[in-house]
Chain A
Amino acid sequence: MKGTRWLIVLIVIVIAIGALFVGKYNTLVEMEEKVNSSWAQVENQLKRRADLIPNLVETVKGYASHEEEVLTQIAEARSSFNKANTPNEYAEANAELERALTNLYAVVENYPELKANQNFSDLQYELAGTENRIATERMRYNESVEEFNKTIRRFPTNIIAGMFGFESKQYFEIDEQDMEVPEVNF
């Protein structure tokens, strides 16, 4: 009598652990989906800004056409942005673009007429808003990546993650190794 009761308890516990594993697997799927959708949002906002830039360049050219250096820098940053594929590459291209834009804003200070231009001030608001959107979506993306990466490394989910091949995700940030190590060609 006593033996059967404990057998039942044991079976119940085994079922509970089995159910827990299925639940954890589903959680991992959901979390991975969340990482993907947050990444899509980051990409959307990055594209949105890239789309604003030709317009900005045109407007600036109307007033400061001889500031070629800054304008070329922006064009280059934009083309390397178009080539980016992974979150790290996007983050680097993004940083480059941000530097170029900062330089542009510095130059603009010398052209009061340009600053007074309605079209230009609209563009500046749009760019500032888009930059804030990028910051927001990047923060959300990184949070979802952090949560996901933590979960797949934590016991007991790491077992499930290993079984089903869940891999940790890249943060949207500049890889410092990439920045520091110079390219050497022999």
Chain B
Amino acid sequence: MKRKYILLLFLAVIFFNTISYAADINIPEPSFYFYVYDEANLLNDEAEEYIIKTNEELYKKTGAQIVIASLNSLEGEDIRLVALKIFEKWGIGSREYDNGLLMLIAPNEGEIWVEVGYGLEGTLPDSKVGRIIEDSIIPYFKEDNYQEGIISGFNEIIQEVEEEYGIQLKRENINEDLYNIGEYDESIGLFQGIRVILIVIGIIVFLIIDFKFFNGFLTYSIFLRGNRYGGSYRSSSSGSRRNKGGGGRSGGGGAGGKW
């Protein structure tokens, strides 16, 4: 009987350690090439290629990312909130400089919102973004010429970003490692140590319980499975150049418009 109580206590400890919070509203996964997510099909291949190529170079040199996304429906949500959530989930721009930007277009609702990452707020203040939308994007959208509007707005934004980083770009060898998807630099301290201790203790307790009650059946089966699948990692096919967000954040800055 006592053994059962101890097992229960053990389970309770695990349970209290792993309570998680509810999931958020539905936000799409980023596309394979990351820089264009064209659900509403507003761009042709050539335009997408242009945006992706330009971004790849920009990211290499500055860590900045300018993402274009279109959605078929906002599902009744505020476009600004949707843009914020997408930005949060995709992590646009480098983590160090938060220099990302998201242009979100909902053609069926006739709304656009440009969300500017914290690091680009100085380069692209709300009024400047507002004017770009008003003068370079909306006039095209009004004539259902989405592609031209997007490209024209994209170019205006790129130009501002280029100017901002113009002086820095002369420093040829900008450390690319800075902008890679590195690990979070979590503070390694007591907390981390305790994690390790907890895991070790957990394993010991697991082993004791397993060998006590199941004659080590669980342990053996884990080892057997590990052997069967171990070492057979799928070799990543060469030539795939999937892009990812750098982990940048935004805080609701930017501007929007309707047509």
Binding site for B on A (CB under 8 A): 5, 9-10, 12-13, 15-17, 19-20, 22-23, 26-27, 41, 45, 121-123, 125-126, 128-130, 132-137, 147, 154-156
Is B197 on the interface with A (CB-CB < 8 A)? Answer: yes
Beyond the given pairs A16-B205, A125-B130, A129-B125, 6 more chain A to chain B contacts, judged by CB atoms under 8 angstroms and listed by A's residue number, are: A129-B129, A129-B255, A133-B252, A137-B252, A154-B19, A155-B16
> In the complex where A23-B194, A125-B127 touch, is A13 in contact with B9 (Cβ < 8 A)?
yes
- B13-A26 in contact (CB<8A): no
> B208 to chain A: closest CB distance in Å?
6
Instruction: List the count of A-B residue pairs having beta carbons below 8 Å apart.
Output: 88
Is B204 on the interface with A (CB-CB < 8 A)? Answer: yes
Residues of A contacting B139 in the complex (Cβ-Cβ under 8 angstroms): none
**Chain B interface mostly:** helix
> B160 to chain A: closest CB distance in Å?
15
User: What residue in chain A is nearest B16 (Cβ atoms)?
Assistant: A156
**Chain A interface mostly:** helix
> A25 to chain B: closest CB distance in Å?
10
**CA of A123 to CA of B131, assembled, Å:** 12
Residues of A contacting B21 in the complex (Cβ-Cβ under 8 angstroms): 147
**CA of A16 to CA of B208, assembled, Å:** 15
- B205-A23 in contact (CB<8A): no
User: What residue in chain B is nearest A26 (Cβ atoms)?
Assistant: B191
Chain B positions 1 through 31: 1 when the CB is less than 8 Å from some CB of chain A, otherwise 0 = 0000010011001001101010000000000
Residues of B contacting A27 in the complex (Cβ-Cβ under 8 angstroms): 191
Residues of B contacting A122 in the complex (Cβ-Cβ under 8 angstroms): 127, 130-131
- A19-B253 in contact (CB<8A): no
